[in-house]
Structure 1
Amino acid sequence: MSNDAALRVLIVEDDPMTAQAHADFVARVPGFEVVGTCLGGHEAIERFDELAAAGTSVDIVLLDMNLTDSHGLEVAGRLNSRGQDVDIIAITAVRHLQVIRSAISSGITQYLIKPFTFASFREKLENQREFRRGLSGSGTLATQASVDNALSALRSVSSTTLPKGLIAETLDAVSAFVRDSPVPVSATEVGRRLELSRVTVRRYLEHLVATKQAIKQPRHGTPGRPEYEYRWV
């Protein structure tokens, strides 16, 4: 795999709105492109085979577990049986330990539990890219160092842990408001809509800026002590 080649992503999610949200997230991460969105397991297998036959094989599959026509574990098993160089990331609300253990056993390399922030989503994709790079050297034999480095790339780091006092659900609500707004918004406007104090909202907005999901700028027409506004990157 070339380090400069965009990784091809197939999304398998039976809820159309959620599938589109995942596609939008993928589009925001440099070096990745969506090559298909499937609303069921059977469709995913067919699309996967079609792309492979056309010479544009899939690199990463974002796979929901609870599909309307099959279970994600079944789909993962069938995809892996193709013998293609594909990595599978589970994106699901399923938290049962037995399913998670089975997912790992079936070759799923990462497991992202809904709901999640864009930062967590982006980290999973970027971790997968580093994992693939770690195992893409010349030749057919790996060194211990290359294996260790590749596996370590899949481990989440503390940078995605929320600062003390921040709640993931509130962060998701603030993020969604800023992301969906057609114009930059202030902490006051977000707080009024979400029924939160301006001070509280500002902490979440500053976290979005720190994690490079939003940018901050002075609002025009507020001289002296300007109010800041935020917009999604």
Structure 2
Amino acid sequence: MTIRVLVVEDEEVAARAHAAYVERVHGFTVAGVARSAGEAMRHLTGDPDVQLVLLDMHLPDGHGLGLLQRLRAAGHLCDVIAVTSARDAEVVRAAVAQGVVLYLLKPFTFATFRSKLEQYAAYRERLGASGGEVAQDELDAMFGTLHARGTNAPLPKGMSAESLREVVTVLRKAGVGMSATELAERIGSSRVTARRYLEHLADTGSVERTPRYGGSGRPEVAYHWR
């Protein structure tokens, strides 16, 4: 299911760039671009199907947090990712208190932007798959996807960000644990290389290692995306 995004950004160049970035990320589409708090409110009132707002904090007719308060008061339950240069600890604290799910500081690269949206998509995917009531471990996994560090952590020598993204994509789509051998076959690498990426993701908390028993000999390690 495609996630519909409203970009709220007063600077024209940045607004166009953020909208273009959204369209480059699989599973997301731009529902609209608002250059002010008032324009954002009008758009959301007329388009209640927006699921995600990329919210700048410095708007010409008010602060982003003020807009967020108005959204919640009006019953808009869309998720919000702050995309801003505001680094003040009080602003960050207030944003989190009002339900901002992720915080992206300007300036940033497309890779960082994409990583945040992919974390959000993984969170929604887990939430949608949960059905009715959820257990504690399911809740932990849902919220853990919002703060997964695997694609942002510094990479060890010999590992590339592009290959890491491919590994993450394969693991997320698999829905089940994968061994290093199975992953190697999917991405066209050696088992040793696949295992290096899997261990890196495990060390940074993005995947979980579990033993897989079958046949004789030592159990195989399966890696599950959290």
Deviation at 1:83, TM superposition (A): 3.1
1:18 to 14, 18, 34: 14
Deviation at 1:79, TM superposition (A): 1.7
Q: TM-score, length-normalised on structure 2?
A: 0.67
Which residue number corresponds to residue 29 of structure 1?
25
Deviation at 1:87, TM superposition (A): 0.7
Deviation at 1:143, TM superposition (A): 1.9
Q: 2:146 is aligned with what amino acid?
A: L
Which residue number corresponds to residue 39 of structure 2?
43
CA contact (8 A) 2:58 2:64 kept: yes
CA contact (8 A) 2:123 2:143 kept: yes
Q: 2:42 is aligned with what amino acid?
A: E
C-alpha separation between the residues in 2 aligned to 1:209 and 1:7?
A: 23
SS at match of 1:135: helix
What value does the CA root-mean-square deviation take over the aligned residues?
2.3
C-alpha separation between the residues in 1 aligned to 2:77 and 2:125?
A: 12
Q: Judging changes above 3 Å, is the alpha-carbon distance between structure 1 residues 211 and 130 closer, same or farther for their aligned structure 2 residues?
A: closer
- For residues 148-194 of structure 1, the C-alpha deviation after alignment (integer angstroms, 9 at most, x for no partner) is 111001114143234589xxxxxxxxxxxxxxxxxxxxxxxxxxxxx
CA contact (8 A) 1:80 1:107 kept: no
Deviation at 1:144, TM superposition (A): 1.2
Q: 1:34 is aligned with what amino acid?
A: V
C-alpha separation between the residues in 1 aligned to 2:156 and 2:121?
A: 30
C-alpha separation between the residues in 2 aligned to 1:211 and 1:67?
A: 36
Q: 1:99 is aligned with what amino acid?
A: V
Deviation at 1:123, TM superposition (A): 1.1
CA contact (8 A) 2:5 2:30 kept: yes
Q: TM-score, length-normalised on structure 1?
A: 0.65
Pairing 1:153–2:149 present: no
C-alpha separation between the residues in 1 aligned to 2:74 and 2:135?
A: 26
Which residue number corresponds to residue 115 of structure 1?
107
SS at match of 1:160: coil
Of all paired residues, the percent bearing the same amino acid is: 37
Which residue number corresponds to residue 131 of structure 2?
138
SS at match of 2:61: coil
CA contact (8 A) 2:151 2:165 kept: no
Which residue number corresponds to residue 68 of structure 1?
60
- For residues 85-131 of structure 1, the C-alpha deviation after alignment (integer angstroms, 9 at most, x for no partner) is 41100000011101000000011111000011111111111111121
Q: What are the ranges of 5 or more consecutive residues in structure 2 without an aligned counterpart? A: 167-226
C-alpha separation between the residues in 2 aligned to 1:35 and 1:142?
A: 30
Q: 2:35 is aligned with what amino acid?
A: L
CA contact (8 A) 1:123 1:156 kept: no
C-alpha separation between the residues in 2 aligned to 1:211 and 1:146?
A: 25
- Alignment: residue pair count: 165
2:4 to 4, 8, 31: 8
Q: 1:70 is aligned with what amino acid?
A: G
Pairing 1:126–2:118 present: yes
Deviation at 1:207, TM superposition (A): 5.6
Q: Judging changes above 3 Å, is the alpha-carbon distance between structure 1 residues 27 and 211 closer, same or farther for their aligned structure 2 residues?
A: farther
Q: Judging changes above 3 Å, is the alpha-carbon distance between structure 1 residues 135 and 212 closer, same or farther for their aligned structure 2 residues?
A: closer
C-alpha separation between the residues in 1 aligned to 2:76 and 2:54?
A: 15
CA contact (8 A) 2:115 2:151 kept: no
Q: What are the ranges of 5 or more consecutive residues in structure 1 without an aligned counterpart? A: 166-205, 214-233
